[in-house]
Amino acid sequence: MALKVIKPGLLTTIQDLGRTGFQKHGVIMSGAMDPLSLRLANLLVGNEEGEAALEMTLAGPSLKFETDTIFAICGGDLSPTINQKPVPIHRPIYVKRDSVLSFGPAKAGCRGYLAVAGGFDIPKVMGSKSTYLRAGIGGYHGRALEPGDVITYQKQKNILPFFEENEHKNATFCTTDWGIEPYLFHRPKQVVRIIPGPHFEQFTKESREDLFHCKFKVTPQSDRMGYRLSGQLLRLEEQVELLSEAVTFGTIQVPPDGNPIILLADRQTIGGYPKIGQVIDVDIPMIAQLKPGERISFKSVSIFEAERLLLKREMDLKELKAGILLKQMST
Amino acid sequence: MVQLINKLDKEVKITRLSESAVVVSFGEEICFDLHEKVKALTNYLQDHSFVGLIETVPSFTSVTIFYDPIQIYKRERKVNHTNVESPSDFVCASLKEAIQNLEKKDKHRTRIVEIPVCYGGAFGPDLDYVAEHNNLSPEQVVKIHSSGDYLVYMVGFAPGFPYLGGMSGKIATPRKKKPRIEIPQGSVGIAGMQTGVYSLSTPGGWQIIGRTPLDLFLKDKTPPSLLESGDVVRFKPITVEEYDDYKEGS
């Protein structure tokens, strides 16, 4: 079982839910920018939800399936097609060998996640399959995909008998009559909920108000490490020299120039700039799907509200998981 | 002798960074005393892990504790039949208890790591500048730099990159105004009052005075870093020939 990369796209890497346990050695977490979409794609094809998938960015790759394969794409809609025919996202797809999956413009969102049934054969480095580009480790030989790369995967048994029965039909690909609601867990409006950070009170009154009343634009200098925003400049009451300490996914730091940076999957393990806020866990996928040029605004919530929302999302996900399992068995 | 620390420590602050991270800060000053506390808590959590604990990240004066809130929720439901409304409350309570129990032992097993450095020449293009800036000869800079004991406060910024304390103020030099596009792996530099070793080739603005043949980031080893928080580093001057021997031997 294998797929071959014909065109790599803008930035296509192998990611899972990240590398934990090594941050004290300075090894960054990496992992999917939109962990929820990665989990959903895996669930749709019957994998463990933290299995590695392809993270595709804005302009997707062209991939040739060398064997019959079951896959699913979740997250951003990068206009996938097989032999010019549109392929639905958020559904399991059965594709015949020698078919080519291509992508067009990013219609919605910024990052798509492609999971194959069985999971990619990628060796784990420090417990994770995620690509750590700067250190050149993990993923596919520690780098983004290039033309000619061949990624293999295991055949997954017992998945979707429906597809087995349809194997002899003429279509190059087929899908189920069910799928998951696109953006089921994503909030449509671009309002990012944050918990005020440890240095929030040290910003001027004006800056604290601006943070919640003004819009901020995602600049082109935004990548997997962090999103650099532009808008009202955020100023401290007085400049302070802070000691570097640990930061996390979604921490909003403000360097001396006053433009906030939201730290994302490839953030360094520690940071030394004042932390004005923290994006709540359930809103991380929305951030990861923002394209440069888009605007967002911030809303303040308490840590307890953030915890409640996270718990609720995980309960909803558990229900969805049970639903998918039932469908996979009955179709 | 074992003494209890922090029992009445009002300096200790516990802050929630996110739904899955809590920071314990022991103070605001880079000093050995606070470093000992950071080390004590890190060691304590290593020996007394709690359900849901993922990892701890020590820094100069704080320890950040990463945990899985869902695991805490599930466990409390299963074992204690209670619904935890706030996993962070649960973690903060566990940490308060941990801090009460921290023990400061007299004798630490401090690891001393010798790092050979070939100073100056092509490996240390800024050695002359550092000397000039401090009214010293390049030889004096090397002597001062290689005669200190440097404490590893934390590892971060890049994998295996140590934040070292203890450099002599006599060789302190500001960063370069224009950062270099690429500083080779192994480069030993000075930035203000700090000294450090580039564990990966990256852009950077430090004054580069030499290079070590050792790898600080050991991607295929466990742990993947030559140095750990709490280690003591000593730099040993070597010649270009010795540098080459090290490289060949590795």
Q: Who wins on pLDDT, B250 or B134?
A: B134
Average pLDDT, chain B: 90
B chain contacts of residue A241, beta-carbon cutoff 8 Å:
none
Of the ranges A128-137, A180-189, B7-16, B128-137, which one carries the lowest mean pLDDT score?
A180-189
B chain contacts of residue A245, beta-carbon cutoff 8 Å:
23, 25, 59-62, 64
Residue of A nearest to B89 (CA): A304
Predicted pLDDT of residue A164: 60
Of the ranges A14-18, A189-193, B7-11, B92-96, which one carries the lowest mean pLDDT score?
B7-11
Q: What is the pLDDT of residues A240-298, one digit of tens each?
A: 778 888 999 999 999 989 999 999 999 999 988 999 999 999 999 999 999 999 999 99
**B7, pLDDT greater than 50:** no
Return the percentage of chain B with pLDDT > 90, whole number: 72
- Give the mean pLDDT of B7-24: 86
Do B87 and A23 lie within an 8 Å CB cutoff? no
Q: Using omega within 30 degrees of 0 as the cis cutoff, is the peptide bond preceding B223 cis? A: yes
**B70 in A contact zone (CB under 8 Å):** yes
- Give the mean pLDDT of B3-24: 78
Closest CA to A8 of A131, A143, A108: A143
Cα gap A299→A316, rounded to integer Å: 23
**B218 in A contact zone (CB under 8 Å):** no
Alpha-carbon radius of gyration of chain A: 21
Q: What is the pLDDT of residues B179-188, one digit of tens each?
A: 888 899 999 9
Predicted pLDDT of residue B249: 81
Q: Who wins on pLDDT, B10 or A146?
A: A146
Q: Which residues lie below 8 Å from residue A238, measured CB to CB, with a gap of 6+? A: A202
Predicted pLDDT of residue B30: 87
Partner-chain residue, chosen from B55, B59, B85, that has the shortest CB–CB distance to A21: B55
Q: Find out whether B152 and B228 touch, Cβ atoms under 8 Å.
A: yes
**Confidence category of residue A187, pLDDT binned at 50, 70, 90:** low
What is the ipTM for the molecules in this complex? 0.94
Do A20 and B55 lie within an 8 Å CB cutoff? yes
Q: Best residue in B13, B19, B71 to probe A by mutation, most A CBs within 10 Å?
A: B19
**B207 in A contact zone (CB under 8 Å):** no
Predicted pLDDT of residue A168: 53
**B8, pLDDT greater than 50:** no
Predicted pLDDT of residue B4: 45
Q: What is the pLDDT of residues A134-148, one digit of tens each?
A: 899 999 999 999 999
Return the percentage of chain B with pLDDT > 70, whole number: 94
Return the percentage of chain A with pLDDT > 90, whole number: 82
Q: Find out whether B30 and B60 touch, Cβ atoms under 8 Å.
A: yes
